[in-house]
Amino acid sequence: MTTTTNTKNSADTLLAAAQSAAKSAAKTNATSTASSTSSTADSLSSLTSNFNQFLTLLTTQLQNQDPSNPMSSDTFTSELAQFAGVEQQVQTNTNLSTLINITQNGQAASDMSLTGKVALANSSKLPLQNGSATLEYSTTSGKTLSIAISDSSGNIVKTDTFNTTSSSGEWNWDGKNSAGEQLADGQYNVAVETIDDSGNTSAVPFNVRGIVTGITRSGNNQIIDMGETEIPMSDVVSYDSAASGS
């Protein structure tokens, strides 16, 4: 009886940990949308603003200097040199931004060849496409795993607990919630947890799998679209051959 009770308590603890992690993933993914403004653009904007302020201050200084005690020629020359230097920096950054955009546009065109391929990504965003989703996990044989899936609002829609038979494997979801209702395609959030003999839970490494449906750009970042799910290209682990039927 005690063994059965302990087993149930461990299962409950594990499931609760997975659900908590899935809810946390929903919050993280909801607030981690990529910024559309690149750091280069921010720097250029700041530099341009400072340049304009410097020019205004210099003009005001010249207009209000005491004719009987004009600005030292050395000081004036130094400020003009600063003015020229800042102006050159603004122009250099503008040209650099243009060059970056050209390079990124060329890269985006090249990346379009990835459309239709199956991508494996290190992300807690789980793309549900055509009523199904898949993730690949890595752990040790004989471990008990709990998987929890949440929607964009953090509501748990599906859970599963099972024992592993090998050090790695994949888990497939048919897109149905715990009540057996088919959910709409889109982005969901997933967490995988395990528990040790002492009752301590921990996250299990996993990658999500999805079909690339497009490539977009957000600032300087390339984004992989898997249906409605957007994942930074830097999080993609590998690409397989084109999906069947694509």
Domain containing 169: what range? 2-34+114-240
139 and 27 part of one domain: yes
Q: Are residues 76 and 144 in the same domain?
A: no
| Tokens describing residue 245 | 């039927």
Tell me whether residue 119 is in a domain: yes
Amino acid at 115: T
Q: Are residues 103 and 209 in the same domain?
A: no
Q: Would you say residue 245 lies in a domain?
A: no
- Among 58, 83, 113, the domain-final residue is 113
Q: Are residues 81 and 202 in the same domain?
A: no
Q: Are residues 47 and 93 both part of a single domain?
A: yes
Does 143 reside within a domain? yes
Please state, in angstroms and rounded to a whole number, the distance separating the CA atoms of residues 141 and 139: 7
- 12-45 pLDDT, tens digit each: 999 999 999 999 999 999 876 544 334 444 554 5
Asked if 72 and 190 sit in the same domain, the reply is no
Q: What is the dihedral of CA 169, 171, 149, 124, to 10 degrees?
A: 50
Residue at a domain's end among 74, 96, 113: 113
Q: Which residues contact 220 (CB under 8 A, 6 or more apart)?
A: 38, 39, 40, 100, 104
Q: Is residue 133 part of a domain?
A: yes
pTM of the model: 0.68
Does any domain span residue 227?
Answer: yes
My answer on whether 55 and 9 are in the same domain is no
Whether 220 is covered by a domain: the verdict is yes
What's the token pair of residue 9?
């308590």
Q: 24: which 2 tokens?
A: 């946390």
Q: Could you tell me the CATH number of the domain that includes residue 227?
A: 2.60.40.4070
pLDDT tens digits for range 131-155: 999 999 999 888 999 999 999 999 9
Of 78-82, 168-172, 217-221, 234-238, least confident by mean pLDDT is: 78-82
Task: Write out pLDDT tens, residues 107-132.
Answer: 554 566 788 999 999 999 999 999 99
C-alpha closest to that of 220 among 35, 47, 31? 35
175 and 54 share a domain? Answer: no
Is 246 a domain residue?
Answer: no
The residues facing 238 across adjacent strands are: 120
Report the mean per-residue pLDDT for the chain: 81
In a domain, 145, yes or no: yes
Pair (8, 127) in one structural domain: yes
Q: Quote the number of domains for the chain.
A: 2
Q: Residues 55, 101: one domain? A: yes
Domain boundary among the residues 97, 113, 129 is at 113
106 and 119 co-located in one domain? no
Residue entry with tokens 């659900």: 19
- For residue 168, the cross-strand partners are 138
Do 136 and 201 belong together in one domain? yes
Q: For 92-106, 122-136, 212-226, which range has the lowest pLDDT when averaged over its residues?
A: 92-106
CA-to-CA distance for 82 and 51, rounded, in angstroms?
A: 10
